[in-house]
Structure 1
Amino acid sequence: MLDKVKNHSIYQPTQPGLTFPQVPEFDNFEADRLHRKQRLVAACRAFAMEKLDYGFAGHLTIRDPEHPELYWTNPMCVHFAQVKVSNLILADHKGRVVEGNYAINRAGFVLHAAVHEAHPDIVAMCHAHTVYGTAFAALGRPLDPISQDAAAFFEDHVVIKDEAGQVAVEESAGLAVCDWFKGVKAAIHQNHGLLTASRHSIEAAAFWFIALERCCRQQLLVEASGHKPVMVSPERSRYSREHVGSEYIGWLHFQPIYEHLAATQPDMFN
């Protein structure tokens, strides 16, 4: 099984003294909390940049480091591009806002809170109503390993058919979905869309969501060509998943996105 939380890869530089991203470590909850909130905001801004918004739909969450029964999330009816540190909200597993001025997205609470509560190892989740992910979800089948990118999800995502197509506002809907997230980083919810979960970071959850949306688009394009795609073999797919599909690789992929956003959208830190 893929190691979800290792912080190294085949991309680590062998030559000393070179600039390379390092996973931060914290000696107090306050610094860790601020870091998580800033990265959550960056993930929302990245979703805006990728045009993954759909009205008020879409919710991203990260556990609080000091109070793991609470999680930070984007506020209801605020565009991803307008999310900032100051308007994030902190909620419990019952959907009660304990810090912040905005309401919580009930669908976000139903799905995410159930997963967070059922899986203490999951620290972050992402969901949005996207064009290609939603279209592919209507097929009710897993992603095929048609490329190295898609192979990153090989045997590391599931198709959820429970509550398919029904608006998830009842707590029973979250309970029906949460058990599917054992040992995987992504799910395709039939007739609904994509979800990702990370045991590493919000950066990993956000990048793998963006990547899964991209892979769904690629597969739909290939199938629309009318030609049968050549699949990556199971052995090579597993190799690619192990080396380019880890949580850490997702975190690493997100670093240039974060640096770009920090340089071009400094208001997100307000």
Structure 2
Amino acid sequence: MAAVMQPPKKSIDLNGRISIYQPEQKGLIFPEIPSFTSAAAQRQHLKERLVGACRAFALQGYDYGFAGHLTVRDPENPGLYWTNPMAVHFSQVKVSNLILADHEGTVVEGRHAINRAGFVLHAAVHEAHPDIVAMCHAHTVYGTAFAALGKPLAPISQDAAAFFEDHVVIGDEAGQVAVEVKAGHKVANAFKGVKAAIHQNHGLLTASRHSIESAAFWFIALERCCQQQLMIDATGITPRLVSEERARYSREHVGSDYIGWLHFQTIWDQLIATQSDMFD
């Protein structure tokens, strides 16, 4: 069942800024959202960041055989999306082996095959929600374990509050591998107005209406929150939760697509310094 996004009762006058984290003082070094003079330049940027997201997943240890898929919508042809190639480790994904596919799962550019489950889930979400530009899924240890509980993430911390009323639990076809198109449609229906989903007995999915960087960071954050929740549950002690009002306030300021993008910039800088083969 989809969560209903509630506005926070308190807010801050940002004076035209996207986020409270943007400096008011001029002239300071701070990440800026890029602008592009052509669709080709934007496409190259998106492909490089998609590769960066795959490499970030490799660093986090999110690999599990050929499972796991990340997608980003093409800027010029919104009915097509770029994705990582089938049966290529996250650490080996590079610009040259990305594939471009349509909503029917047909590869229109690239030499590798597409992951069937990735096509079924991601294509359905992209097709049903034109505003969603990127999506991530992987078979992670803690997210998969937490998904078996079939419950939403509790606001146990500031970090978890970023997902408060901004994620759903999907119980449809729980545990059945998503290779039929109808499974993708059920997942797509759940992504109305939220950035994340916990698919029961399957794992985590995140989507972004902003960037692949945001989708990737919020996946990393959700996996981390699932790990923390499982650790707390293991103590047998009932935790003290962040109140609903404070959780909504935190979500507004630390849970947006922009904040996800901003968080990822630290990961991107690390990748640039250590993994130059991404651009091969």
Q: TM-score, normalised by structure 1?
A: 0.98
* Greater Cα shift, 171-180 or 114-123: 171-180
1:163 CA displacement: 1.3
Which residue of the partner structure matches residue 211 of structure 2? Answer: 201
Structure 1 residue aligned with 2:166: 156
Q: Which residue of 1 aligns with 2:181?
A: 171
Counting only pairs closer than 5 Å after superposition, residues 1-270 of structure 1 correspond to structure 2 as 1=5, 8-270=18-280
* 1:157, distance to aligned residue in structure 2 (A): 0.1
> Does the CA contact (< 8 Å) of 2:232 and 2:239 recur in 1?
yes
Kindly provide the amino acid, as one letter, of the partner of residue 144 in structure 1. Answer: A
CA deviation after TM superposition for structure 1 residue 14, in Å: 1.4
One-letter amino acid of the counterpart of residue 269, structure 1:
F
Q: Secondary structure at the match of 1:27?
A: coil
Query: Amino acid of the residue matched to residue 53 of structure 1?
Result: D
- Contact kept? 2:209, 2:257, Cα under 8 Å: yes
Tell me, in whole angstroms, the C-alpha distance in 2 between the residues paired with 1:177 and 1:153: 18
User: What letter is aligned with 2:73?
Assistant: R
The CA distance in 2 between the partners of 1:243 and 1:258, in whole Å, is: 22
- Which residue identity lines up with residue 268 of structure 2 in the other structure? Y
Gaps of 5+ in 2: 8-15
Identity of aligned residues (%): 76
| Structure 2 Cα separation of the partners of residues 150 and 55 of structure 1 | 29
8 Å contact kept, 1:7–1:248: no
Alignment size in residue pairs: 268
Deviation at 1:257, TM superposition (A): 0.2
Q: Distance in 1 between matches of 2:17 and 2:273?
A: 25
SS in 2 for 1:121: coil
> Given the superposition, is the C-alpha separation of residues 2 and 124 from structure 1 closer, same or farther in structure 2, using an over 3 Å criterion?
farther
Which ranges of 4 or more aligned residues in structure 1 deviate by more than 2 Å?
Answer: none
What amino acid is the match of 2:216?
Answer: A
